[in-house]
């Protein structure tokens, strides 16, 4: 069995706070994968189901954020689970809104919910860090996380929660890479290429290296003078007197 824990604060007053994104993620998984109805147990709300053949218990501690470890420790002892069977989904100030990171073990980074878990079950549990952004100054953090997500965040928040639900089976199987891929396909889907490639230019015909054929000169029309034809190639051997006589004949 695996135990998925969402961190948040109980009650309608906090339901849509940034601090409650862990609760929201579990609600999405329970709804999409046909888990049992929520019921009160172990100082929290729990429901059961199966993800990819793995039995999974979802838990939303009702002890308020800074005492989350009490409820989780009680459930772990009942089901004889180790901290490595536990995955915690929680808000993360150090990630941009809509970003998600999965890791095993690590520090609590000042997060009150994680701090409580560390003190009750150790630091070896897995965690899914869900980015909500940072207000810019540490003095503004408390008010920031206890405010509702604005309308402008609804689109990316919906995509992120659906991506977590899509990858929940991979998360239960311990396949962090496949889980992250499922989330990415929701929050940053690849763009489809619909444009056709431009037609290739046909190469211009190569210029011929041959010299252009010159036209033969036209034959002269009939009756035109032709000096070559009029020339008499035979020399005149007559005497001057004979030539003079021939003129008067």
Instruction: Read off the pLDDT of residues 41-52 as tens digits, 9 standing for 90 and up.
Output: 999 999 999 999
Q: Is the CB of residue 130 less than 8 Å from the CB of residue 21?
A: yes
Q: How far apart are CA 199 and CA 201, in angstroms?
A: 6
- By annotation, the residues acting in catalysis are 19
Report which of residues 102 and 228 the model is more confident about: 102
Please give the pLDDT value at position 107. Answer: 92
100: alpha, beta or left? (left if phi > 0; alpha if psi -120 to 50): beta
Question: With bands split at pLDDT 50, 70 and 90, how would you rate the model's confidence at 205?
Answer: low
Per-residue tokens: 223: 């009756």
Report which of residues 36 and 200 the model is more confident about: 36
Please indicate, yes or no, if residue 215 is contained in any of the structural domains: no
Neighbours of 116 (CB within 10 A): 24
| Residue 48, helix vs strand vs coil | strand
Domain count, the chain: 1
The residues that bridge with 39 in the sheet, in sequence order, are 46
Question: With bands split at pLDDT 50, 70 and 90, how would you rate the model's confidence at 229?
Answer: very low
The residues that bridge with 4 in the sheet, in sequence order, are 58, 87
Please indicate, yes or no, if residue 177 is contained in any of the structural domains: yes
Residue 102 — φ and ψ, nearest 5°? -115, 140
For residues 233-247, give the mean pLDDT: 61
Q: Residue 94: which CATH number?
A: 3.40.50.1470
Please indicate, yes or no, if residue 133 is contained in any of the structural domains: yes
Please indicate, yes or no, if residue 157 is contained in any of the structural domains: yes
Instruction: Read off the pLDDT of residues 84-121 as tens digits, 9 standing for 90 and up.
Output: 999 999 999 999 999 999 999 999 988 999 999 999 99
Please indicate, yes or no, if residue 32 is contained in any of the structural domains: yes
Please indicate, yes or no, if residue 102 is contained in any of the structural domains: yes
Q: Which domain holds residue 67?
A: 2-187
Please give the pLDDT value at position 200. Answer: 55
């Amino acid at each position: 069995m695996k135990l998925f824990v969402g961190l948040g604060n109980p009650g309608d007053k906090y339901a849509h706070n940034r601090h409650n994104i862990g609760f929201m993620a579990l609600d999405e998984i329970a709804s999409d994968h046909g888990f049992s109805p929520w019921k009160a147990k172990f100082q929290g709300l729990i429901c059961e189901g199966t993800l990819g053949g793995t039995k999974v218990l979802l838990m939303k501690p009702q002890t308020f954020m800074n005492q989350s470890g009490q409820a989780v420790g009680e459930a772990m002892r009942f089901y004889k689970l180790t901290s490595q069977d536990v995955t915690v989904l929680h808000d993360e100030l150090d990630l941009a809104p809509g970003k998600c990171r999965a890791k095993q073990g690590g520090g609590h980074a000042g997060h009150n919910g994680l701090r409580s878990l560390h003190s009750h079950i150790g630091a070896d549990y897995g965690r899914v860090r869900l980015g909500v952004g940072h207000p810019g100054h540490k003095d503004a953090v408390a008010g920031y996380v206890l405010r509702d997500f604005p309308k402008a965040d609804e689109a990316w928040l919906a995509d992120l929660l659906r991506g977590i639900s899509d990858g929940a089976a991979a998360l239960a199987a311990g396949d962090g890479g496949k889980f992250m891929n499922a989330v990415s396909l929701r929050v940053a889907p690849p763009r489809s290429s619909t444009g056709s490639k431009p037609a290739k230019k046909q190469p211009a015909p190569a210029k011929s290296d041959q010299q252009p054929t010159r036209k033969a000169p036209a034959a002269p029309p009939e009756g035109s003078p032709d000096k070559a034809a009029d020339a008499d190639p035979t020399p005149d051997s007559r005497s001057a007197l004979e030539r003079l006589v021939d003129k008067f004949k």
